[in-house]
Amino acid sequence: MNLHDVSLFLVITETRSLTQAAKRQGISAMAVSRRLASLERELGTRLLQRTTRSVSLTQEGMEFLPYAQALIEAETGARALFSPSTQGAVGLLRITAPSGFGRRNILPLISELLADNPELSIDLQLSEDVVDIVGRGIDVAIRIAPLKDSTLIARKIADSPRVICASPDYLKVNGMPTSVEDLKKHHCLRLSSVPQWIFERGGDVFRVRVEGRFISDNVEGVRELCAQGLGLAQLTRWDVMKEIRKGTLVEIELSDARPQDLSVWAVLPTTRYLPLRVSTFIDKLKSSLTLLATS
């Protein structure tokens, strides 16, 4: 398999255009088309659907994409291994993560990661959306969830239980809830992505509809209004750890149920070849969360 053709395939998937790929590579569109056809003949399958305006991945193309990325990464890593100028991880590390968790726990690591790895670049996308990491060329997605069945590979980084919390002032005025039923008497600040609060009891998971006057798709917004005394919130421990330690928020424990346990996962498109830049980031994040949890 010609690695130059594999590399060109990756450029086409990024630009979604044979013409744009040709411009980026400094060759003609006809040459791009010929080399793509050669790669498809080599593999015995069609990788891309072509139209006059754009190209799109076939199912086989989507399946081949992580392998193509691994092939190019392996070649780059092999060359870097014997380069006297290379120190640490190299290349562009593409990360996606939830916005609240990313701002608090990933952004503080960036400067040290870049300082320790002079040949490393980082593209960090903070969003609540669950993106197609294979189609978008993402190296690692940080997700906080009880991970659903997936063809992707997931590595657990840390526990991340949900907690119910409120400000001391709110509890002073409205009282401390002690059961799930008590939640109906309180103002509950809710994330729009979590329409019901999720609990565990005796190994079973169940959902509770809560009422409140504020809903947001943003963790920071819910946490801020909770700290201001506007109601209860159910967030992950990583979202409110600093506030609970400072005393600006109080963790609430119910007698008849506990909020659902989640985990922090590093989701990967494949582990057949894990670039050093990805393992370096995962190890850094895991060490940081372990230190925060024990400090």
Give the sign of the dihedral formed by CA 274, CA 280, CA 283, CA 284. negative
- Of the listed ranges 34-48, 61-75, 152-166, the one predicted with least confidence: 61-75
Provide, rounded to the nearest whole percent, the portion of the chain with pLDDT above 90: 54
pLDDT at 81: 60
- The two tokens of residue 141 are 């997605």
- Residue 130 above 90 pLDDT? no
Whole-angstrom Cα distance, residue 66 to residue 76? 15
Q: Residues 24-46: pLDDT tens digits? A: 889 998 999 999 999 999 999 99
Whole-angstrom Cα distance, residue 15 to residue 34? 17
Q: How far is CA 142 from CA 118, 183, 243, 269, 291, in A?
A: 23, 31, 23, 12, 18
The mean pLDDT of 182-189, rounded to a whole number, is: 94
pLDDT at 70: 79
- Residue 55 above 70 pLDDT? yes
Say whether pTM exceeds 0.75: no
Provide, rounded to the nearest whole percent, the portion of the chain with pLDDT above 70: 94
- The two tokens of residue 232 are 């209860």
Average pLDDT, the chain: 88
Q: Partners of 234 in the beta sheet? A: 164
DSSP classification of residue 148: P
Contact 273, 74 (CB under 8 A): yes
Nearest to 177, CA basis, from 228, 222, 234: 234
Q: Residues 164-174: pLDDT tens digits? A: 999 999 999 99
pLDDT at 68: 87
- Residue 208 above 70 pLDDT? yes
